Amino acid sequence: MRTINKEEILAKLGHVVVLKGGQSAEREISLISGHAVFRGLQRLGVQSSVIDVDDSIISDLKKAKPDLVFNMLHGQGGEDGVIQGLLEIMGIPYTGSGVLPSAIAMDKVKCKLIWQQLELSTADFLVLNEQTDWQRVIDQLGKTVVKPVNGGSSLGISIVDNAAELQNEYLVALGFDKQVMAEKCIEGKEFSTGVLGDQLLPTIQLETDRDFFDFEAKYEDRNTRIICPPELRPEKQMELEHLIRTAYESLGCAGLARVDVMQDRTGEFFLLELNTVPGMTDHSFVPMAAKQIGIDFDELLLRILEVDLKQGGK
């Protein structure tokens, strides 16, 4: 990745306010990510403060008077265009993608429909409801991933292979979102790649002894294996990187995002999802990937801020 000028970036920042917490199902991860970012900004000498977001967020922001908001709110209310819209109205620059890209990326159905329209490879899916013919879904998709349409951190996700389990897990997923989808399960290798503006972080290959990368595998299981560089031939690595860049650009994303991809046993890639506010915990994929090329956590923060400063913080 290109070199950066630390002093120049710091001189432009002013007061940076980190938003964390919120009221989504991903609150606990957001608190950890936000705390890590705040501590990193403090180490860098940035004038910074932190807000645990609740119903008083408007008055809290008016009181804090930030020059830039570093958004670390995960899930609904934080990466679905809601907080972005509020910050736009208040005239406060912020990190990450804008209102529309955030809203689309958060809604997996709308995101996948766009990718399908652009002929970007993504797994087949169906939207579920109480009138769904459960056996028909299994007949059509086979082994199936049940997931909330709006959500992250693998919360509420399960894998099923029969109609009875599908119906049961649909009800479980409803506890995380009012919309639930069924997606054809792609079996093979899983990859995750951070995108920072026009630059790609190293792709990491993920391995777990669990059935899939659930919440525990992502944030708690110390046996989760990270392979970097991934086990890909050079031409497949180039194909994957092109798919990732196109997926990011197709939604109009900005700043930091993370794209997750599966590769089936024939070698074909399938887009899973795009996360516009990736985790920044010590177990998160983006900081791990940056570390592989000698970029520590604090330098990663500087690079995120540099990109957002160049883009005018929306």
Position 44 confidence tier, pLDDT thresholds 50, 70, 90:
very high
**SS3 of 19, please?**
strand
pTM above 0.85, yes or no: yes
Number of alpha carbons in the 13 Å side-chain half-sphere of residue 46? 33
CATH for the 105-121+187-292 domain, from 3.30.470.20, 2.40.50.140, 3.20.20.100, 3.40.50.300: 3.30.470.20
Q: CATH topology for 6-95?
A: Rossmann fold (3.40.50)
Mean pLDDT of 227-253: 97
Q: How far apart are CA 161 and CA 19, in angstroms?
A: 40
Contact of 160 with 142, CB cutoff 8 Å = no
The closest alpha carbon to 290, from 198, 221, 204, belongs to 204
Backbone dihedral angles phi then psi of residue 150, each to the nearest 5 degrees: -115, 105
pLDDT in tens, 105-158: 999 999 999 999 999 999 999 999 999 999 999 999 999 999 999 976 678 899
Q: How far apart are CA 58 and CA 92, in angstroms?
A: 11
Higher pLDDT, 126 or 214: 126
Contact of 230 with 257, CB cutoff 8 Å = no
The pLDDT, as a whole number, for residue 292 is 94
Cis peptide before 148 (omega within 30 of 0): no
Contact of 253 with 195, CB cutoff 8 Å = yes
How many other CB atoms sit within 10 Å of the CB of residue 148?
Answer: 23
Name the residue with tokens 């809601």: 82
DSSP conformational letter for 122 = B
Higher pLDDT, 213 or 108: 108
Domain ranges for the chain: 6-95, 105-121+187-292, 125-184
**SS3 of 103, please?**
helix
Contact of 217 with 208, CB cutoff 8 Å = yes
* Enzyme catalytic residues: 26, 153, 219, 258, 260, 273, 275, 279
Does 312 have pLDDT greater than 70? no
Residue 27 φ/ψ region, left for φ over 0, alpha for ψ in the -120 to 50 degree band, beta for the rest? alpha
| 125-184 carries CATH number 3.30.1490.20 | yes
Q: How far apart are CA 302 and CA 121, in angstroms?
A: 33
Mean pLDDT of 156-177: 95
The pLDDT, as a whole number, for residue 311 is 72
The pLDDT, as a whole number, for residue 6 is 92
Name the residue with tokens 């995108």: 195
Q: Give me the DSSP letters along 74-90.
A: -STTTSSSHHHHHHHHH
Residue 105 φ/ψ region, left for φ over 0, alpha for ψ in the -120 to 50 degree band, beta for the rest? alpha
- Do domains 6-95 and 105-121+187-292 share one topology? The answer is no
Please give the mean pLDDT across all residues of the chain: 93
Position 313 confidence tier, pLDDT thresholds 50, 70, 90:
low
pLDDT in tens, 58-78: 999 999 999 999 999 999 999
